[in-house]
C-alpha cells in the first residue's frame, strides 16, 4: 500500500541520518531493490525541506545520488525491459531533483561571499577618504550581527532570515 511504502521510506531516511554506513548499504542494494529505492528517493525529493534539515551531513547523500545517477544512466542505455526502464527514469528524475537541491547550498554561499567581497571593494573604491568614525560604525554594525542567525539563514537559503540578521 502507498502508506506502508511511505512509512518504510521514512524509516530508511531515518536510518541514513543515524549512520552514514547505511548509504553504502543502500548503494549495494539499489539495483536489486529499485522500486523501494524509487520510493525513498521520491520521499526525499517531495519532503526535501523536512528531511534535509534532519540530515547531519549532506556529503554522503550527494555521493550516493551521484552514484545512483550513473547506475540509472548505464541501465537506461543497456535497454532494460519497459517496467525497469520506467523505474530507472523515475529514479533518475528524483536523483536530478535532489542533486539540484544539494548543489544550491554551495552556490548561495559562493554568491554571498562574492557579494561581500564586491561590496567591500566597491566601498573602498567609492569612499577612499571616509571618516574613521564611519568605519567604526560599520565595524560596530558587523559586530552586533547575529552570526547564528546568519549561519541558519545561509544553510536554508532563507533570504527573509538573512535580511533580519543585520537588522536585529
Give the CA distances from residue 141 to residues 13, 67, 118, 119, 147, in Å, rounded to whole numbers and listed in that order. Answer: 41, 45, 18, 15, 12
Tell me what pLDDT residue 29 has. Answer: 95
pTM of the model: 0.61
Contact (CB, 8 A) for 15 and 69: no
- pLDDT score recorded for residue 2: 78
Residues 6+ apart with CB under 8 A from 108: 154, 157
Q: Are 149 and 164 in contact (CB under 8 A)?
A: yes
DSSP state letter for 145: S
Q: Mean pLDDT of successive 10-residue segments in the chain (168 residues)?
A: 83 89 95 94 90 82 95 87 92 94 66 65 61 59 58 54 53
The position carrying cell 521514512 is: 10
What's residue 55's pLDDT? 76
Amino acid at each position: 500500500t502507498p502508506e506502508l511504502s511511505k512509512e518504510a521510506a521514512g524509516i530508511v531516511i531515518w536510518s541514513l541520518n543515524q549512520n552514514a554506513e547505511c548509504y553504502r548499504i543502500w548503494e549495494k542494494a539499489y539495483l536489486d531493490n529499485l522500486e523501494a529505492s524509487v520510493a525513498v528517493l521520491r520521499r526525499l525529493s517531495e519532503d526535501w525541506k523536512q528531511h534535509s534539515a534532519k540530515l547531519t551531513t549532506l556529503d554522503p547523500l550527494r555521493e550516493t545520488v551521484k552514484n545512483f545517477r550513473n547506475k540509472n544512466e548505464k541501465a537506461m542505455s543497456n535497454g532494460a525491459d519497459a517496467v525497469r526502464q520506467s523505474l530507472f527514469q523515475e529514479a533518475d528524475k528524483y536523483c536530478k531533483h535532489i542533486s539540484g537541491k544539494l548543489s544550491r547550498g554551495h552556490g548561495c554561499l559562493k554568491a554571498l561571499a562574492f557579494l561581500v567581497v564586491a561590496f567591500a571593494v566597491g566601498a573602498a573604491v567609492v569612499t577612499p577618504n571616509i571618516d574613521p568614525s564611519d568605519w567604526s560604525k560599520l565595524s560596530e554594525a558587523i559586530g552586533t550581527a547575529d552570526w547564528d542567525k546568519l549561519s541558519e539563514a545561509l544553510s536554508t537559503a532563507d533570504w527573509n532570515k538573512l535580511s533580519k540578521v543585520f537588522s536585529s
